[in-house]
Chain A
Amino acid sequence: MKIAVLQFPGSNCDQDAFHAFADALGLPAEIVWHKTTSLGGADLVVVPGGFSFGDYLRCGAIARFSPVMEALREHAANGGRVLGICNGFQILCEAGLLPGALVRNRTLEFRCLTSNLVVEDAGPDWNPQTVGQRLRLPIAHGEGNYRIDDKGLAKLKANQQILFRYADAEGNPTPQGNPNGSVDNIAGIRNEAGNVFGMMPHPERAVERIHPSLDGLAVLRALTTPAAAGASS
């Protein structure tokens, strides 16, 4: 499983993501500059967090037109795996590779904390057995308020596209446990085909003992395990 971590002007979690995959998981990984037009045969393309292009206009609105995005689009269309974290999630939504959009947090505050998450069953590659039922992962964002219309939400639920929800300390997806106002406490989703994943929490910042938790390891492992069952679904 070869990893490509994209790097845009303003990306700031690219090195963290590279470190998590290369050093914590020991997988072959490389950083790919946004002007590159080839992904070098990567199996998983990671769109990292940060503030690509200063978040000008809208988060992810300018990055989605970078040259590397054409290669990413082709990779995804061919069934290749893509993981967008934080700003990467915003970029994938802007690019239309994931449904919905992320707007300003309901509180208008930049939320930086360790969030409680409950894992939903989103298919063979992502379920409570492979990832764990409850996770604690860091979040750090000002625009993580997930929005989708009622029809789109019904579709997400029907297709099991929700990866996890924000929860309170008891593990319930209540309004109190929702740090940003996201619809239905949604913290991460996948596309209908099951190969493009997007999440606001940072699994790459929960892979070492000095981190708030080690729960990111299970998340990254689930997404880097060759999709035996997933390929056929």
Chain B
Amino acid sequence: MKVTVFVTPKKNVLDPQGAAVGHAMASHGFPSLKQARVGKTIEIDLEAGDTPEFRASLDKICQELLSNPVIEDYRYEISEAGA
């Protein structure tokens, strides 16, 4: 099973990297840009089933370690099969 965790700065938290990337995109003539945000992805391979218990442990590690709830949001995607 593969889990991809996406960590992004909270909407109301200043994102200096996102602002710089957005500025560079605008400089390249990229049209209609309103905002760019920079976060990180964490790809995890593991041997487990997608159970409620597993999701609970995944939420726990996301809240305690992978993201800082003061400044970041997280979401994840779970894909079966090691594709």
Contact = CB atoms under 8 A, between A and B. Distances in A.
Contacts of A101: 68, 70-71
A214 interface: no
Contacts of A57: 65-66
B51 interface: no
Interface residues of A, number: 19
B13 interface: yes
A108 B20 contact: yes
A192 B14 CA distance: 25
A106 interface: yes
Given A57-B65, A61-B65, A65-B65, A100 B17 contact: no
Interface in B10-51: 12-14, 16-17, 20
A149 B37 CA distance: 19
Contact of B16 (A61, A103, A148, A149): A103
A11 interface: no
Contact of A61 (B9, B12, B68): B68
Indicate the size class of the contact surface on chain B.
Answer: 10 to 19
A103 B9 CA distance: 10
Q: Chain A interface secondary structure, helix, strand, loop or mixed?
A: loop
A101 B68 CA distance: 8
Interface string B46-81: 000000000000000000011010110000000000
Interface string A139-172: 0000001011100000000000000000000000
B37 to A, nearest CB: 13
A118 B14 CA distance: 24
B16 A181 contact: yes
A100 B13 CA distance: 11
Contact of B70 (A65, A106, A145, A147): A147
Given A101-B71, A104-B17, A108-B17, A149 B65 contact: no
A94 B68 CA distance: 7
B12 A149 contact: yes
A33 B65 CA distance: 22
Interface of B: 9, 12-14, 16-17, 20, 65-66, 68, 70-71
Interface of A: 57-58, 61, 65, 93-94, 100-101, 103-108, 145, 147-149, 181
A-B pairs, top 9 by smallest CB distance, nearest first, are A101-B70, A101-B71, A104-B16, A106-B16, A108-B16, A108-B20, A101-B68, A58-B68, A147-B13
